[in-house]
Amino acid sequence: MRKLLILSTGAVEEALLQKIAAADWEIYWAQDVTLARTLLTEHVFEVGLGILFNCEPERSVQWLVDLILARRKMQWVLAMSRQCLDRKQLSSVITERCYDYHTLPVDTQRLVVTLGHAYGMSTLSEATLRQQREVESQYGLIGNSPVMQTLFRGIQKAAEVDVPVLITGESGTGKEQAARSIHEYSNRAASPFVVMNCAALPPNLIQSELFGHEKGAFTGANERHIGHMESADGGTLFLDEIGDLAPELQANLLRFLEEKKIRRLGSTKPIPSDVRVIAATNTNLEQAVQDGRFREDLYYRLNVLHLRAPALRERKADVELLARHFFAKFAAETRTSAKGFSRDALEVISRYDWPGNVRELMNRIRRAVLLSEGPYIIPTDLELERRSLGRGFVTLDEARMAADREVIQSTLLRTRFNIARAAQELGVSRMTLYRLMEKYDIRRDSI
């Protein structure tokens, strides 16, 4: 039987309740916020009916409005006096959140039909979304483009065989999610999936974190430490940013891949370890091999299977799909008045190159959901209007500044705000980079 939640600011006529119940509805009724929240916690409702007998004082109906705004997935029908329609807040709620509204006294037969249609829309929307997710989402990644289909096939193939995998791609393209999916769909799924970022630790600590150490191995080693390699026994070790691994540790990793044994720092005893290694990098390892920064033999050991996570600019057809996915996710988590994107917002989203890839898109949508004050997200909520719309012309100075800002932002995103590394790539000193960041108002939380 279908469940209906009725929220009202006064007593509801028994005759109305009986006629609704006769239409195959199981009715739950609340006249205050405490009982309403209890019912919403204990039951799943597809449809809600709000009945406002009187809209004065404002605080007497605020609890009902708040619950309607909070429960985005429910289809709401409001019944109220004509005087209530003059209230701006209630007219906004009707426009932004409600399937339909009725004026008091209600036409019971028409109301019952409306409630039935609302329930049908709710179930239809849920079925459509479920089918859409099944088509558009695989392995925790969203996309229909040919390059994503290639990645999906690569993940499936990698999950079926137990060999090292190298995943390449820019920062923010989903390399870790691809690695996690390979593990979860492999025969090792019941064992640990351990992540280590080779760029996040100084070289003198990486060996201890990767292979572990014995008590007394070095100053401060007060007890034995089990490294990531040993912790991942039976499972998968994901080495992110493998291109930043120090040369001496490259030799140790190569030895493990050949022998399948580890040695803790401060010990000569080999320990067998059954671990699958999946490595990822946003740098060109082949070039690093040619430059002598990465061992060629280790490169070929890691690159048994190669997957490439495409940049977002290479799959423009997926951008709107991803934007809508993230909107639905964050809108469900927050109280927002936004129902979706304006046409202008979708235009700038499609035109922007997304140097930070999916991670940048996700962060901008999250911020837009929080900032939006209208029924639709607009370009200013995304903070992309300066980049994508413009006034139809720009001066040379404006174009140069915009280009400089974009290059600096994309480099910082690619290097995960490693200032020294970004400055090196840009060919400037760290102090110069800091001055440019200040000039263009570039902060970690602004991109």
| Per-residue tokens: 380 | 């200013």
Question: In the prediction, which pLDDT does 93 show?
Answer: 82
Identify whether residues 108 and 161 lie together within a single domain: no
**Do residues 161 and 128 lie in contact, with contact meaning Cβ atoms separated by under 8 Å?**
no
CATH of the domain at 112: 3.40.50.2300
Choosing from 310, 332, 356, the residue where a domain stops is 310
Dist CA 248 CA 386 (whole Å): 47
Identify whether residues 298 and 433 lie together within a single domain: no
Confidence of residue 393 (pLDDT cuts 50, 70, 90): very low
Q: What angle do CA 88, 92, 96 make, to 5 degrees?
A: 180
Averaged pLDDT, 112-133: 71
Count the Cβ atoms, other than its own, within 10 Å of residue 398: 12
| Per-residue tokens: 187 | 């025969």
Its domain, for residue 50, covers 2-134
Question: In the prediction, which pLDDT does 135 show?
Answer: 45
Identify whether residues 14 and 101 lie together within a single domain: yes
Identify whether residues 304 and 371 lie together within a single domain: no
**Do residues 375 and 96 lie in contact, with contact meaning Cβ atoms separated by under 8 Å?**
yes
Choosing from 113, 134, 155, the residue where a domain stops is 134
Residues present in the chain in total: 447
Task: Identify the residue whose tokens are 């320990």.
Answer: 271
Question: In the prediction, which pLDDT does 447 show?
Answer: 54
pLDDT, tens digit (0-9, with 9 covering 90-100), for 396-428: 555 566 677 778 887 888 787 888 888 888 888
Question: In the prediction, which pLDDT does 434 show?
Answer: 79
pTM score: 0.60
Identify whether residues 155 and 245 lie together within a single domain: yes
pLDDT, tens digit (0-9, with 9 covering 90-100), for 155-204: 999 999 999 999 999 999 999 999 999 999 999 999 999 999 888 777 77
Identify whether residues 383 and 414 lie together within a single domain: yes
pLDDT, tens digit (0-9, with 9 covering 90-100), for 226-243: 888 888 999 999 999 999
**Do residues 430 and 343 lie in contact, with contact meaning Cβ atoms separated by under 8 Å?**
no
Task: Report how many domains make up the chain.
Answer: 3
Dist CA 136 CA 133 (whole Å): 5
Confidence of residue 70 (pLDDT cuts 50, 70, 90): confident
- What is the identity of the amino acid at 126? E
Identify whether residues 173 and 320 lie together within a single domain: no
Dist CA 45 CA 371 (whole Å): 29
CATH of the domain at 196: 3.40.50.300
Identify whether residues 334 and 396 lie together within a single domain: yes
Question: In the prediction, which pLDDT does 124 show?
Answer: 64
**220 Ramachandran zone, left/alpha/beta (phi>0; psi -120 to 50):** left
Identify whether residues 380 and 427 lie together within a single domain: yes
Identify whether residues 261 and 344 lie together within a single domain: no
Identify whether residues 161 and 280 lie together within a single domain: yes
Averaged pLDDT, 366-394: 72
Helices and strands, number each (H, E), in the chain: 20, 16
Coil, helix or strand for 354? coil
Identify whether residues 273 and 325 lie together within a single domain: no
Residues 6+ apart with CB under 8 A from 217: 208, 264, 265, 266, 267
Give yes or no for residue 390 having a pLDDT over 60.
no
Of 23-27, 144-148, 220-224, 355-359, which gets the smallest average pLDDT? 220-224
